[in-house]
Amino acid sequence: MTAAELPQSLLATLPGHHYTDPSIFALEQSRIFEAGWFCAVRSADLDQPGAFQTVQVGRESVLIARDRKGGLNAFLNVCRHRGARLCTEESGQVQRSLQCPYHAWTYGLDGKLIAAPNLAGMPDVDRGQFGLNRVHLREWLGYAWVCLAGEPPSFENTVISDVAQRLGDAGELDAYDIAALELGERIRYDVKANWKQIIENFMECYHCATIHPELTEVLPEFADGFAAQYYVGHGAEFGDEVRGFTVDGGEGLQQLPGVGEHQDRRYYAITVRPQVFINLVPDHVIVHRMFPLTAERTIVDCDWLYLPEVIASGQDLSRSVELFHRVNQQDFDACERCQLAMDSRSYAAGGVLVPSEHHIAEFHDWVRARLAG
């Protein structure tokens, strides 16, 4: 059945091969992940000069390091001499420089070439010209976002616009002061599914009554199948007997001081394309960062963020963390179950979206537009 033949209640999805075809994934890497802003690392993870992390962005390894002046810099993780991978560790700490282990070309934390064997005998070599290739970097919400494009798109018209479209006003995010929060827990998930499966799942709640018993106890309206993201500005309301966003609905932690009365006892979910989810509740914020590695494998880092005084006090965060950890496990299991069928002849033309999922079609249009260049 073609899209034109579907009843009005149903919309067509992307065809199955869009979730498995390596050539389509390669296009996504170049035209989505390497072309726009990508949330790479939490700034506070690089808390000392010389601290660095390496992150896979599309087909490139990106090196992010804190310099001696306290700023963050991002570079392609490639030595300018013969192309050796400069840093092979996911994270680490150096004193004053980054040195290639192959021929000892050495770079400052600002990316400049500062030394190499026999360099003094090559006076025509401009050290500035042979520094590491820089990547655009911007800090927002306490995270470092990078862009590999020569001319990056407007941060305001892409990243912040996604927040504005979801909340009605990006300024609503200010109440949570996310950059001032501290990491309480981080869990890494290795998901055997295409990155689009994960986004589509996060955007809808048609599945919530089926696989999220704990979540629908806390947010009863989700049992009706409409996700908060279906409505601009809407936050799902806690149940009458629910006291906090915890696995048992019991008391939460100290409320974020900026949260307004209209935001209290509500959950807001935001998709920032192409790889970030922001979850807002009155006492903490949960941030997902996706790192698509292949057409059928995605790493997801999930951060639970709380007030500094909550972290310093040593309060038990387990009931708070456990709720969304279970939600993550349930969601990722569902995504993996779908991924198994993407190459089936039954799904060659794709599936369908019911009315509560129709907003996912806008995401599909967004993907198609970028793949078309």
When the pLDDT of each residue in the chain is averaged and rounded to a whole number, the result is: 96
User: Are the C-beta atoms of 14 and 350 separated by less than 8 Å?
Assistant: yes
Would you state the pLDDT for residue 2? 65
pLDDT exceeds 90 at position 290: yes
Whole-number Å distance between alpha carbons of 361 and 345 = 22
44's tokens: 């506070």
Query: Going by DSSP bridges, is the β-strand pair 60-66/236-237 parallel, antiparallel, or unpaired?
Result: unpaired
Query: Which helix or strand (DSSP H or E) is residue 339 part of?
Result: helix 318-339
User: Are the C-beta atoms of 146 and 76 separated by less than 8 Å?
Assistant: no
Which residues fall within 8 angstroms of residue 272, CB to CB, at 6 or more apart?
39, 159, 162, 163, 278
User: 125-131: long-range contacts (C-beta < 8 A, 24 or more apart)?
Assistant: 130/80, 131/80, 131/107
What string of H, E and C letters represents the secondary structure of 253-276?
Answer: CCCCCCCCCCCCCEEEEEEECCCE
Q: What are the pLDDT digits (tens) for 229-260?
A: 889 999 999 999 999 999 999 999 999 999 99
Query: Which helix or strand (DSSP H or E) is residue 371 part of?
Result: helix 360-371
Would you state the pLDDT for residue 1? 62
DSSP string, 51-86: EEEEEEETTEEEEEEE-TTS-EEEEESB-TTT--BS
Q: What are the pLDDT digits (tens) for 131-163?
A: 999 999 999 999 999 999 999 999 999 999 999
Q: What are the pLDDT digits (tens) for 177-213?
A: 999 999 999 999 999 999 999 999 999 999 999 999 9
DSSP string, 272-331: ETTTEEEEEETTEEEEEEEEEEETTEEEEEEEEEE-HHHHHHT---HHHHHHHHHHHHHH
Count other Cβ atoms within 10 Å, centred on residue 338.
Answer: 17
Would you state the pLDDT for residue 228? 85
Whole-number Å distance between alpha carbons of 41 and 47 = 12
Q: What are the pLDDT digits (tens) for 82-120?
A: 999 999 999 999 999 999 999 999 999 999 999 999 988
Q: How far from chain centre, in Å, is Cα 115?
A: 36
**Counting beta carbons within 10 angstroms of the beta carbon of residue 53, is it exposed (0 to 12), middle (13 to 18) or buried (19 or more)?**
buried
Share of residues in the chain with pLDDT > 70 (%): 99
Whole-number Å distance between alpha carbons of 218 and 320 = 12
Would you state the pLDDT for residue 120? 84
DSSP-derived letter for residue 11 is E
Q: What are the pLDDT digits (tens) for 33-68?
A: 999 999 999 999 999 999 999 999 999 999 999 999
pLDDT exceeds 90 at position 3: no
- Using 50, 70 and 90 to split pLDDT, how confident is the model at 127? confident
Whole-number Å distance between alpha carbons of 307 and 177 = 10
Q: What are the pLDDT digits (tens) for 362-371?
A: 999 999 999 9
Would you state the pLDDT for residue 9? 96
Question: Helix %, strand %, coil % for the chain, to 5?
Answer: 30, 25, 40
Query: Going by DSSP bridges, is the β-strand pair 60-66/97-99 parallel, antiparallel, or unpaired?
Result: unpaired
**Counting beta carbons within 10 angstroms of the beta carbon of residue 16, is it exposed (0 to 12), middle (13 to 18) or buried (19 or more)?**
buried
pLDDT exceeds 90 at position 79: yes
What is the mean predicted confidence (pLDDT) over 311-340? 98
